[in-house]
Amino acid sequence: MPVFIQFLCGLLFGAGLIVSDLANPPTLLGFFDIAALATGGWDPTLLFGLIGAVGVTFVGYRIVFARHRPIYAERFELPSATKIDARLLTGAALFGLGWGIAGLCPSPAVTVLGFGGMKAITYATALLGGMFLARTLATHLAARAV
């Protein structure tokens, strides 16, 4: 049952990406293209999508965190880091540079696999390769630091 509910969560998330058009690269690139602010073609879809998403999550998390634990797990797994460090900003900058080239961040990159096509498969493969590299590098650095 918990696994099926996680499938439904992914399904709903992906459906939201499609409804909002946020799984479509021109929509993202139209938001990033600030030069279009002057010429009138700027696309605020990402802003509206994030307002809807963050608004619902902000309220919903408060209701959920009022409980002691999740329904099917021992505890809430939340990030413990609180400091802004160079690694956070470097990673975010590299991620953003790639995002602005293709217009696909990880959630849409996985979702568009469902539409099929060579481009979607190529992009998702490169994405997973980059993740594997970073995860492996991070593990080695952590092992050396001990």
Q: Sign of the CA dihedral 104, 29, 6, 15?
A: negative
The answer to whether 141 contacts other proteins (rule: CB under 8 A) is no
Binders in 87-106 for other proteins, by CB under 8 A:
87-106
CB closer to other proteins out of 63 and 145 = 63
Least distance (Å) from other proteins to the CB of residue 58? 4
Binders in 7-36 for other proteins, by CB under 8 A:
7-30, 32-35
Binders in 57-86 for other proteins, by CB under 8 A:
57-58, 60-61, 63-65, 67, 69-79, 81-84
CB closer to other proteins out of 55 and 145 = 55
Least distance (Å) from other proteins to the CB of residue 144? 15
The residue to which tokens 């634990």 are assigned: 69
Binding residue count for other proteins, defined by CB under 8 A:
120
For residues 45 and 20, is the Cβ–Cβ distance under 8 A? yes
Draw the binding track, 112-131, toward other proteins (x: CB under 8 A; -: no contact): xxxxxxxxx-xxxxxxxxxx
Q: Which of 89, 9, 99, 116 is nearest to 46 (CA)?
A: 99
Q: Sign of the CA dihedral 26, 31, 34, 39?
A: positive
Q: Which of 23, 65, 64, 78 is nearest to 45 (CA)?
A: 23
d(CA 93, CA 100): 11
Least distance (Å) from other proteins to the CB of residue 63? 8
Question: What separation in angstroms does the CA of 14 have from each of 63, 68, 98?
Answer: 23, 28, 21
Least distance (Å) from other proteins to the CB of residue 146? 14
